Chains A and B, each alone.
Chain A
Amino acid sequence: MKVRRFKRTFLKELAAEIKVARYIIYTNILSAVQLRFAFFLQAGGMIINNTAFLIAWLLFSNAFGSINGWGAQEIIALQGIVGLVYGICFTFFGGIDELASKVNNGSFDSLLLTPRSLYLRILTLTTKTSAIGDMIYGLLILIVFGIQTNITFSNTLILILAIIPACIIFVNFAFTAATVSFFIPDAHELSRSIFDILLTTAMYPGGTFQGIMRFIFMFIVPALFIGSIPVEIVTQFSLYNLLAIWIIALVWFLLARLALINGVKRYESGNMIGAR
């Protein structure tokens, strides 16, 4: 009886996982763009959808002027970054949207049966077609911002260095929120609400968040790290903020992993839900 055993170093294992994850993401995106007309409609519609929020906050900025260094340019940058972060996360890691309901209805089983990192398998479950539109929207808006502010090459690099941890925080916060369903039955609505708090607040101009509000939305619900802090890093560079965002990204990554490990131990599959 020849049993397959993989004895690999941590790095080799990681490389193997990333290779498979890349392939799965490729397949997901391929599947999403299969129905070409529907794909263009979804992506285009999302661009229009997001523009509305941009218009709303530009009207706000027009009425109130600059608040703590936050004017029209900053709002444009914010909407672009949040759109891009959201788009990247739900294009490549759309599975975060499905975790809570899968745990709730017992179909999480199939994820436990594959010989892959559970964390990556969950993240790469699917692609949200409309998120590709969000990504395009975000990029376009940031290009507009770049042109309007004559952004330098170094500032562009700094922007990228701020967006990457923003994506990590976004994905892992959403992931952690979704793991609530392991611990509380029928909690996928609750998970959704927790995530909505992050997303809603992320789009609000950071200049209006000061004092205790700033603290709450940085260190308890990291909404400001998704958009406002990256904007501030680019417009008023602070190494402290740049380091802080990377540290917070690491913290949320670890929290998500911890939540998953404990959640799986508590997982009760589909068996007893019907009995209630």
Chain B
Amino acid sequence: MAKVVDVKNLFKSFTFPVKSAHKNFIQNLFTPDKRTVQAVDGISFSVEEAETVAFIGPNGAGKSTTIKMLTGILYPTSGKISVLGFNPQEERKQLAYNIGTVFGQRSQLLYNLPLTDSFELLSKIYELEPKKYQKQKNNLIELFNLSEIIDQPVRKLSLGQRMRGEIAASLLHQPLIIFLDEPTIGLDVIAKQKLRENLTNINRELKTTIFLTSHDAGDIESICERTIVINHGTIIYDQETLNLKKIYLNKKIITIELEKIIDKKIPPHQGVEIIKQKDNMIEIIVDTTQTTLERVLKNVISELHIVDINIEDPPLEETIRKMYETQKAR
């Protein structure tokens, strides 16, 4: 399989002036002290055609910086990047014809005009042949369920609808790889699920490589077969997502609201750790390697009178921090 992305010894540092307490105003203005931050600290990896890769890490880890170098936005300090055989910095325009990008908060759609006008504009920007463009547009409208909103101004769309539109727009020119930065941020559960299904379908049917960053473990689990974890500018994990789940994503946090305040302490159960019990609120962590969620929930429902229950994954930051500490310990 062809290599779609090939990164070797990539470094990126940012230098900026800082105010020094030892210097006066004029000195700070003209000869300030400089601080260098190593955002990406010598990473190497490659991605094959049709792979689905999650590129994750805590805030400030270097993932956005890496994606920006891969797409030609930033220049690396040193190292080699090849995306589809192009050098992103020297062949930015040629590369752009072949990649799709969806960067969460940054929209490429025309705000005041209907979605269809944005598509039309993009077809001109990407120099798409009219017949091919129409066919692809119709496919995407069907795939992303856009027929009811295609003629509405973008500003009138809900966030979920807009994100569907954004991703469809990024696929109009049938890119070989699509880079997504937090595509499901702010979406409700159903919208997220739909979006994940669409992305999986695109990968399966069109063999589009997917390179995704997200803080949502559900995105990673459902879309990506491979996960690369970056922290402090270095890669600390690069394996199948399933393994990540087995080793690290094996905890669930359950918050329970009881009908009445209970005086007695809840006895320990295997695989269950009680982290908080106050008044009528209980918070527990379930270790899914030692017990099943189903068993725990059955016990909770049978033993306690519950008013409300909330199940969530531990924050990804927590998981990565744990991963980092485990790596360090080794």
Interface residue ranges, A against B (CB under 8 Å): 1-6, 16, 19-20, 23-24, 27, 30-31, 34, 107, 109-110, 112-117, 185, 265, 267-269, 271-272, 275-276
Interface residues of A, dominant DSSP: loop
Interface residues of B in 43-77 (CB under 8 A from A): 49, 64-65, 68, 71-75
- Are B16 and A115 touching (Cβ within 8 A)? no
Known: A4-B97, A110-B108, A271-B14. A24 touches B121 (CB 8 A): yes
- Are A116 and B98 touching (Cβ within 8 A)? no
Further pairs besides A31-B110, A107-B106, A271-B74: 16, Cβ < 8 Å: A1-B4, A2-B176, A3-B176, A23-B121, A27-B121, A30-B113, A110-B103, A110-B106, A114-B96, A115-B93, A115-B125, A116-B93, A116-B125, A117-B93, A269-B74, A272-B39
- Are B108 and A115 touching (Cβ within 8 A)? no
Q: Bound state CA distance, A185 and B16, in angstroms?
A: 9
Known: A20-B124, A268-B14. A113 touches B176 (CB 8 A): no
Q: In this assembly, does B127 line the interface, its C-beta being within 8 Å of a C-beta of chain A?
A: yes
For B108, what are the chain A residues with a Cβ–Cβ distance below 8 Å? 110, 113
12 contacts between A and B (CB under 8 A): A1-B49, A4-B97, A6-B94, A24-B121, A27-B121, A34-B113, A112-B73, A113-B96, A115-B95, A115-B127, A271-B64, A275-B37
- Are B74 and A5 touching (Cβ within 8 A)? no
Q: How far is the CB of B231 from chain A (nearest CB, A)?
A: 16
Q: How far is the CB of A129 from chain B (nearest CB, A)?
A: 11
Report, nearest first, the 3 A-B pairs whose CB atoms are least far apart. Answer: A115-B96, A272-B14, A115-B97
Residue of A with least CB distance to B118: A27
For B95, what are the chain A residues with a Cβ–Cβ distance below 8 Å? 115
- Are A271 and B93 touching (Cβ within 8 A)? no
For B176, what are the chain A residues with a Cβ–Cβ distance below 8 Å? 1-3
Q: How far is the CB of A205 from chain B (nearest CB, A)?
A: 38
Which residue in A16, A112, A116, A268 is a CB contact (below 8 Å) of B72? Answer: A112
- Are A109 and B68 touching (Cβ within 8 A)? yes
Residue of B with least CB distance to A274: B60
- Are B97 and A267 touching (Cβ within 8 A)? no
Q: How far is the CB of B259 from chain A (nearest CB, A)?
A: 45
Q: In this assembly, does B25 line the interface, its C-beta being within 8 Å of a C-beta of chain A?
A: no
For A113, what are the chain B residues with a Cβ–Cβ distance below 8 Å? 71-73, 96, 99, 101, 108
Q: How far is the CB of B105 from chain A (nearest CB, A)?
A: 9
Which residue in A3, A107, A269 is a CB contact (below 8 Å) of B68? Answer: A269
